[in-house]
Structure 1
Amino acid sequence: MDVEGALKEKELGNQAYKKKDFQTAIKHYTKAIELDNTELTFHNNLAAVYFEMKEYDKTIKECETAIEVGRENRADFKLIAKAYNRLATAHKKLGDLQAAKVGYEKALTEHRTPEYRQNLSEVESEIKKAAELAYINPELADQEKQKGNESFKKGQWADAVKFYSEAIKRNPKDSRIYSNRAACYTKLTAFDLALKDCDKSIELDPVFVKAYLRKGNVLKAMGQIQKAMDVYSKAMELDPDSAEAKTGYKDCAVRQYSTGGGDPEKTRERAMNDPEVQQIMGDPAMRMILEQMQSDPQAVSEHLKNPEIMKKIMKLKDSGLISMQYR
């Protein structure tokens, strides 16, 4: 064994590696191993060269040797972890995500670093994504959707949710399945989940009127009347002949009026329960604008030129707190 000679060869290998003269680096690292076969660093360095050359099978083999040599000679656990990490990354490059996951896990058992933790997290995410993609099957999604429809007709809402959820896993791009599940959640009075599904359905298909109608129904059931009216209004834009949208909007308008009962104090009380209205009324700049509008009704025309102020003023108008008369 020639430790001093091995270290000289390693240094020459490092110099060649930095110059990307990989063949020369291989020659020197291999010579270092011949002179001292108890040092895993030489194997780690050789593996690094193979990795840069995209020879991932050789990288893996050299990393395995490095780990074996390291174990036999009680090497620093940090060096063994480094070998496991490079081995895992080579597996990842070859597309073997499960082997990469195992490698990163072993690296972490030897030495926990943010880098190794991040590498494991990324490969786990890729494995999950690959599994989800492999699970997609529109034909099976339609079958599960049909089972959901049958359960819904029977009033078996929980069973329908289960079938629709499976259909979504099989075809997560079908906006109608989310809309159908939203209808189930509405029946179960799980309004937050229903809204989430309605929004996802609309995101996937912005012109799918049924999703807007269901969202409007949910908001109405939650007592968020103005928001429900806005959604019904959007549904009427998409389908001017929609009787359900017209009826929903009319019901909300009637409810909004009747809740106030024509009593300004009740109207104000109802409006101030809206967090958005509370925020607007708590803004000193908006209070100043409202005072100006009271003394000079024509001033509203100027304020409406500012989109943000216009939005706030219209919100107050819709809530019944203010009325506007301007030309």
Structure 2
Amino acid sequence: MRYIIIGAGAVGGAIGGRLAESGREVVLVARGAHYEALREGGLRLATPDGRGTHLLPVVNDPGQLGELRADDVLVLAVKTQDSIAALDPWGHRPVAGGGTAAERLPLVCAQNGVASERLALRRFRHVYGMCVWLPAIHLEPGSVSAAGTPLTGILHIGCYPSGSDETARRISADLEKSRFDSPVVEDVMRWKYAKLLANLANSIVAVTGLLTSDEGLALYRRARAEGDAALAAAGIEAVGDEEEKEFRGDKITLEHFDGSERTGGSSWQSLNRGTGTIEADYLNGEIALLGRLNGVPTPVNDALQRIANTFARQRRAAGSMTVAELTALVDEMAQ
């Protein structure tokens, strides 16, 4: 199988680099300065067990690959707000032996949130969800670091909307030879909804920095309580905290191998890079959507969604608001 990583940032770069290290064939898809850096100098991947440069094929347009292969696997690893733009160039591409990518190839959504799988299924017949627990950072073109050890990440995979098949098992086997735990599950969205609830903290981290203070944790708990209520009203089951904790165990610990402190997650990185967009619409905004559909008030998530989007749009610096200021603003907006 050849893995085409659509979005070779923190998650995509870590998955692609680890797959390449275990001898799997990988193509990276990137854009802008990151594409140029990957093309000219390769993917620089730093992990607790060392630093390496992977000279992998890299494209910024599927036309550069020509006809796709029947054994290709498309791995979508962009932020959800970029999913449609990232997918549109790939669906109509011809595949060796006949048909198109949308008709024949597996598409794995290795992303936060729960919306991309549905977006993808409108275009692709064979969609797989992936719940991503992978602490990784991408701040500079051409460079990705992943601090997890002894495993780099945990990547639950399953068919969307549910089920499993031989393709999922083959992808899992390749990942498990590449420093990942990758359970094949029948209910992958149940795991992704649990991750969604955890990711409601992303906007708080992006705006204020690491979630370490009692005040910051209190704000997250308010957002999480709304999330729990919205999922319950919608009849959506998520993996519980105890089940998740028991499964993860000590499979991943963070090792600050470069001497630096752990920086923020995916939303924090978006603000840090000044991308102009952030995934809040598909994290806090997912809870807001479920709340509106099911008559559940979600004022804290509504406010966090708006504040995070304002930060991204205005390209305000990550971590530039105090938790006290954010809490006061949320309370004001929630009235």
**Higher strand content, 1 or 2:** 2
TM-score greater than 0.5 by the shorter chain: no
Question: Higher Cα Rg: structure 1 or 2?
Answer: 1
**Higher helix content, 1 or 2:** 1
| TM-score interval (norm. to shorter) | under 0.3
TM-score normalised by the chain length of structure 1? 0.22
- Structure with more relative contact order (C-alpha pairs < 8 Å, separation 6 or more): 2
